Amino acid sequence: MALVENVSNLQKSQDLLEAEGGKKTMMKKMMRQIQEEPLDSLSSSVRRQAMEILTQLSHTQPTLGVRERLELVNTCVQSVFSLPSVQAMQEKDEAKAETIQTLYHQTLEALQTLLKALFAEDPTPAGLKSILEPLGPWMNSGKAHERARAVNSNVSVLNHVLLTLPFFVPLGFPALGLLLGRLILRVGDPDEEIGREALDGIVTLYTILDLQKRAKDKEETNKKELYESNKRFLGPYNSVSPCQNILRVIAEFGDFLGPQQVKDLLLAALEGLKGSSEASGKDSGETMQLASEVTLSWVLEWYRHRVLEVIPEIMQGIYLQLSHIQEPRAREVALLPVSLLASSFMTEVVVALLMCPLPLDSNGADMWRQLILRKPSCDVRDLLDLLLGSLKEKPVTKKGRASIVPLAAASGLCELLSVNSCMGRVRRIYPQLLLALLIQVHYHIGLSLPGCMAPLKDAQKDTQPSAFVPVRWVVKVVKTLLLRMGCSYEATFLEEQGGWELMEQAESHHRGVALLARAMVHYSCQELCRILYLLIPLLERGDEKHKITATAFFVELLQMEQVRRIPEEYSLGRMAEGLSHRDPIMKVLSIRGLGILARRTEKTAKVQALLPSIVKGLKNVDGMLVVEAVHNLKAVFKGWDRKLMDSTVYVEMLQILLLLFSDSREDVRSSCINLYGKVVQKLRAPRTQAVEEQLISTLVPLLLTMQEGNAKVSQKCVKTLFRCSCFMAWELPKRAYSRKPWDNQPQTVAKICKYLLENLRHDPEASVCIYAAQAQDHLLASCWRNSWLLHGDSGVCDPATTHHWSPSCENLPTSHQRRSWIMQALGSWKMSLKQ
Give yes or no for residue 2 having a pLDDT over 50. no
What pLDDT is stored for residue 822 in this prediction?
Answer: 45
CA-closest candidate to residue 136, choices 319, 276, 285, 268:
268
- Note whether 440 and 391 are within 8 A (CB): yes
pLDDT, tens digit, 9 for 90 and up, residues 475-484: 999 999 999 9
Q: Which range in 173-177, 386-390, 601-605 is most confidently predicted, on average pLDDT? A: 386-390
Residue 454: pLDDT band with limits 50, 70, 90: low
What pLDDT is stored for residue 51 in this prediction?
Answer: 95
| Average of per-residue pLDDT across 355-362 | 93
Residue 461: pLDDT band with limits 50, 70, 90: very low
- Planar angle of CA 164, 168, 174, nearest 5 degrees: 105
- Read off the DSSP letter of residue 253: G
Write the DSSP string, 9-39. HHTT-HHHHHHTT-HHHHHHHHHHHHHTS-S
CA-closest candidate to residue 296, choices 282, 281, 325:
325
Residue ranges of alpha helices (H) inside 311-429 are 311-322, 328-342, 346-353, 362-373, 380-391, 405-416, 423-428
Q: Cα 6 to chain center, whole Å?
A: 61
Give yes or no for residue 471 having a pLDDT over 90. yes
What CA–CA distance (Å, rounded) separates 416 from 429?
14
What CA–CA distance (Å, rounded) separates 527 from 510?
21
- Note whether 207 and 223 are within 8 A (CB): yes
| Average of per-residue pLDDT across 104-115 | 96
Query: Helix 176-187 and helix 242-252: axis angle, to 10°?
Result: 160
Domain boundaries, the chain: 19-122, 125-279
Q: What are phi and psi of 280, to 5 degrees?
A: -80, 125
What CA–CA distance (Å, rounded) separates 373 from 632?
49
The partner residues of 467 in beta bridges, in order of sequence, read 453
What CA–CA distance (Å, rounded) separates 412 from 407?
9
Least confident of 117-121, 183-187, 230-234, 445-449: 445-449
Q: What are phi and psi of 586, to 5 degrees?
A: -65, -35
Give yes or no for residue 458 having a pLDDT over 50. no
Write the DSSP string, 263-278. HHHHHHHHHHHHHHHH
With pLDDT > 90 as the criterion, what percentage of the chain qualifies? 51
Size of the chain in residues: 835
| Average of per-residue pLDDT across 726-751 | 76
Coil, helix or strand for 402? strand
Give yes or no for residue 824 having a pLDDT over 50. yes
- Read off the DSSP letter of residue 688: P
- Read off the DSSP letter of residue 687: P
pLDDT, tens digit, 9 for 90 and up, residues 128-184: 888 999 999 999 898 999 999 999 999 999 999 998 877 665 555 668 899 999 999
Give yes or no for residue 663 having a pLDDT over 90. no
Give yes or no for residue 800 having a pLDDT over 50. no
Least confident of 15-29, 660-674, 714-728: 15-29
- Read off the DSSP letter of residue 565: G
What pLDDT is stored for residue 769 in this prediction?
Answer: 74
What CA–CA distance (Å, rounded) separates 329 from 290?
10
CA-closest candidate to residue 272, choices 192, 187, 202:
187
| Average of per-residue pLDDT across 748-777 | 70
> Which residues, 6+ apart, have CB-to-CB distance to 8 below 8 Å?
49, 53
Q: Which range in 192-196, 721-725, 745-749 is most confidently predicted, on average pLDDT? A: 192-196
Tell me which of 603 and 111 has the higher pLDDT.
Answer: 111
Give yes or no for residue 507 having a pLDDT over 50. yes
pLDDT, tens digit, 9 for 90 and up, residues 287-313: 889 999 999 999 999 999 999 999 999
What pLDDT is stored for residue 799 in this prediction?
Answer: 36
Give yes or no for residue 646 having a pLDDT over 90. no
What pLDDT is stored for residue 169 in this prediction?
Answer: 59
The partner residues of 453 in beta bridges, in order of sequence, read 467
Question: 106 exposed, middle or buried (CB, 10 Å; 0-12, 13-18, 19+)?
Answer: middle
What CA–CA distance (Å, rounded) separates 174 from 534?
53
pLDDT, tens digit, 9 for 90 and up, residues 334-343: 999 999 999 9
- Note whether 60 and 26 are within 8 A (CB): no
Residue 8: pLDDT band with limits 50, 70, 90: very low
Q: Cα 572 to chain center, whole Å?
A: 39
The partner residues of 396 in beta bridges, in order of sequence, read 402
- Read off the DSSP letter of residue 467: B
pLDDT, tens digit, 9 for 90 and up, residues 397-438: 667 777 899 999 999 999 999 999 899 999 999 999 999 999
What pLDDT is stored for residue 515 in this prediction?
Answer: 97
What CA–CA distance (Å, rounded) separates 507 from 358?
27
Residue 369: pLDDT band with limits 50, 70, 90: very high
Tell me which of 688 and 512 has the higher pLDDT.
Answer: 512
Distances (CA, A) of 806 to 647, 820, 828, 831: 20, 10, 8, 12
Q: What are phi and psi of 396, to 5 degrees?
A: -125, 125
What CA–CA distance (Å, rounded) separates 562 from 557?
9
| Average of per-residue pLDDT across 40-61 | 91
- Read off the DSSP letter of residue 420: G
Question: 285 exposed, middle or buried (CB, 10 Å; 0-12, 13-18, 19+)?
Answer: buried
Report if pTM > 0.85: no
Averaged confidence pLDDT in the chain: 84
What CA–CA distance (Å, rounded) separates 360 from 369?
12
- Read off the DSSP letter of residue 735: G
| Average of per-residue pLDDT across 480-504 | 96
